[in-house]
Structure 1
């Protein structure tokens, strides 16, 4: 399975997967519940910057550079979200909602960057195991949540790779020429993910 995990020795890397998941999800939940005001955009941006600054991804400004890389990978998601919100809701909620969505995604990416998929999967499964008495399949739910957390940042990176390949061939920065190649790459990733799940006995 393709992941964004990058080996490191920072405190977030060393933190157990379970508490780390709860910490990041709590921050994402708080950001998501902020009201749709202008100040929300600033707060969401500040939370993302602080999160990457103190995450211990590497020396110096490596955390901020990684945040910039994540934001660049998400630029089309940000544009689509902002434009659609502007059309239906107006400037203030559009900017606030786009900032909240972007902050939530880049904060979730911190989990993928600092946690191995196997460790995350085990942590979620252990947390859901008490619910098996109610008929919940903890292993399947853990796998679903892990794939969901990992997929959006991966697709963001795939989008950046498609754009870089087009730029290397001299193609113009045109959304119309971007959509079809990106859909092909995304579908290919879905097929690879399905094959990986099938190989692990998931039906």
Structure 2
């Protein structure tokens, strides 16, 4: 599991992990449920840019997060263009990019143990209904921190293909990415099992 935390003293860094996760969930739901709204995506993008600036990370860090997703963005956009109008495909891809950039902001300004603790505290009352707060917290932290891992795998694949002169095609890119992602998930599962996490 990769921790992307960048030390800082901004208001976002100092904010408790629980409220940050709740804000992330609320914005993600708003973006998802307002798919037909023309203003929601630009407003969310402005909010994300403002978040990076307030956190003292700057536009360079935001750009780095987006660039790291470039091949994932290409695959998403190309596959959607096959079935959807161009504007719809662009809007869908834009929503995913904004949500991922926001998730990156959360991990950049919050230590993973803090995310785990906040999630466990929030879900503790649901333990009587069979919910495992520790398991859910671990799942959340792993989900957020695995996004840049997959993006890094995608970048490595493309760089290797470029070095070999392989043209950009969905079939030559998606299959290796899927194989490496599955291998990463197997390695992660083995690591968790070795630590007694079922």
TM-score range, shorter chain: 0.7 to 0.9
> Which residue in 2 is equivalent to 1:104?
99
Q: Report the aligned-residue RMSD.
A: 2.4
Higher mean alpha-carbon deviation, 14-23 vs 36-45, is at 36-45
Contact 2:31 2:41 survives alignment (8 Å): no
Q: Matched residues in 2 for 1:161 and 1:34: separation?
A: 34
> Which residue in 1 is equivalent to 2:136?
141
Contact 1:3 1:150 survives alignment (8 Å): yes
1:2-151 alignment runs, 5 A limit: 2-57=2-57, 63-151=58-146
Unaligned runs of 5+ in 2: none
Q: Matched residues in 1 for 2:51 and 2:142: separation?
A: 22
Secondary structure at the counterpart of residue 77 of structure 1: helix
TM-score by length of 2: 0.84
Q: Is 1:190 aligned to 2:185, yes or no?
A: yes
Unaligned runs of 5+ in 1: 58-62
The number of equivalent residue pairs is: 197
User: After TM superposition, which residue ranges in structure 1, 4 or more long, deviate above 6 angstroms?
Assistant: none
Relative distance call for 1:163 and 1:200 in structure 2 (3 A) is same
Q: Matched residues in 2 for 1:166 and 1:84: separation?
A: 20
Relative distance call for 1:115 and 1:122 in structure 2 (3 A) is same
